[in-house]
Structure formats: structure tokens, C-alpha cells
Structure 1
């Protein structure tokens, strides 16, 4: 039963995160952006089946690869996210089409890792996926908060601040949080 609960938790977190990130929203650098990833990591690390007892080395390599994929995917998602400052000084963020590509590529890599583990006979628990998701969210949020703080602390030049994606058309409608 814990595997099913973990799987449902992972799906719920992914859906909420993806839906929220593809809407324009202000970045709040003062909130606890690290809290959800830490909770996910603690829940994942408390699971006894995070490593296969019969294939410790193989499952540890797959787990390390999952964490590495989370690091790379989190950084790629953060750097493909559009960040800009409005004239009132509020920093906004919105994921781009490139961010969606990062998600699809990350899911494809994870499916490949799961398939590799299945071929090798390594039992893979949902806790490894949850830990990878926690790393992804922690890295992405950390980079976005850093980018937002950099933009908000930049001296005002009287015009809009340059940001990733400025050559793209700006969404004129801001969606509520």
C-alpha cells in the first residue's frame, strides 16, 4: 500500500507543480521555497525499499542516476523558465515551451532507467522517483529564487529589466496564484 500512496503523491505533486509553473506568477523570494522538496525527500528516505536488498550496487547506481537526472532536469527547467520584472518591481516567472521539452525528456530518461532496472532484475521502489523529484524541485526553486533576487536587486535603469525570453511575446494576462 505505501507504494500506491507514494505513486499517488508523486502524480499529485507533478500535476500541481506543472500546472502552476506554466502560468505567469510572481516569485516570492521570502517564502520557504525549499519546504516541499525537503518533505518529499524525508518521505522518500524513510522508505525501506529505496534500495533493492538483492541488488544493492545496481539499485544504488540507478538511484544515483535518478538523483543526477533530477539535478540536471531541475537546472534545465529553471534556466528555460522566463523570469522578468514588471515596472512595479515584482518579479514574475512562467515556464516556456523549452521547459515542457525538459519535462518530456526527463520523463523519457526516467522510463529508460526503469526499463533498464527491470531488464537487470532490480526492484525499483517509488521512493527513488520521489527522491529524484525532490532534488529536481529543490534545484529548480533554488535557481529561480536566485534569479529573482538578482533581478529584484538590480539597479533600476528606468526601463524593463532584460530577462531570459525577452525576445518572446509577453503574456499580457497575469493569472492569479
Structure 2
């Protein structure tokens, strides 16, 4: 894809993610919330270019700062998500305005770190970006799973004391 198309495509993807996180979504009890970020991290660590060989110490520092921003953004994203149990026992979640602010702030900090690295001549490749991006959903998923476990299940109606009546053909 030509370079001039990258910015609109990235902007559209970011807008789609922000819009989707502000819509109510069912929070599944799936215990595999870490799989996709884990695959992303493994893919990043397998590729060369995680650290700039000409500026190793500075590159590791920028990578650490990007991962820290990802961790903070993921935690903020999870803590600002509103969770509630539905009548059927399912758990639902929805991002709030604070969620949008956290996500926007995280993206701004990442862009600033990338710009700072570029000004200093530090090359941040795709593996560094994938590593930093993997931190956000893994922390968000962990915090949401922890928060979901703390929410009590809605009270169910007690069973009736009388046994159910048999079907009509069982009666004489």
C-alpha cells in the first residue's frame, strides 16, 4: 500500500475501534483473552528488528516506555469500561467518555514516543510496535476478567415449592 494511504487507513481503524468499544458488548467468560495478544507478542519476538542495533540502549528505553504506555492504557481502558449483569446472567460492558480519553491519550503518547525516537535517529520497527500494542489488550483483558469475577451474578427466582404438573397424557 502506498505510504500516503497509511494515515487514512490507520485513522479509520482507530476510529472503528473507538466506536466499537463505546457500543455495548457482551463480556464473555472466555478464559482465552490472552491468546491474541500472546500470538502478537510471539510474532514480534520472532522477527528481527525489535531493537535498533545502532542505538541499543536508547531503543530499549523507548520500547520500555511504549510498553509502559500500553500497560497503562490497557488498565485505564478496563477500569473506565462500565460493566453490568443482564437479567439472563450475561455480563455486558461499554466504554465511556473516559475510555475514549484514555485511548486517545495512549495513542498520543505512543505517537510522541515514536516521534521522539525518529528525531533522535532511533529506528522503531514493526516488531517494536507489535510488542507495545500487545501490552494493551492483554492488560485490558486481565483487568476486565478480574473485574467481571467481582460482579455478583443476578439473583435468580427461587424454584417453586410445588412440583410441576405432568403433561395431560400422563394424567387419567
Question: Is contact 1:37-1:134 (8 Å) kept?
Answer: yes
Do structure 1's residue 96 and structure 2's residue 116 form an aligned pair?
Answer: no
| Cα distance in structure 1, aligned partners of 2:47 and 2:21 | 29
| Cα distance in structure 2, aligned partners of 1:46 and 1:15 | 30
Q: Which runs of 5+ in 1 are unaligned?
A: 159-177
Match of 2:114 in 1: 114
Name the larger-Rg structure.
2
Q: Deviations over 1:17-68 (max 9, x none)?
A: 5443222111111241111111111111112111000000000000000110
Relative to the length of structure 2, the TM-score reads: 0.78
Q: Which runs of 5+ in 2 are unaligned?
A: 157-172
Question: Is contact 2:71-2:135 (8 Å) kept?
Answer: yes
Shift of 1:16: 6.3
* Number of residue equivalences: 151
Match of 1:44 in 2: 44
Structure 1 moving runs of 4+ over 3 Å: 11-20, 155-158
Relative to the length of structure 1, the TM-score reads: 0.76
Q: 1:19-58, aligned counterparts within 5 Å?
A: 19-58=19-58
Where 1:93 maps in the other structure, the secondary structure is strand
Shift of 1:13: 7.6
Where 1:50 maps in the other structure, the secondary structure is coil
| Cα distance in structure 1, aligned partners of 2:104 and 2:153 | 37
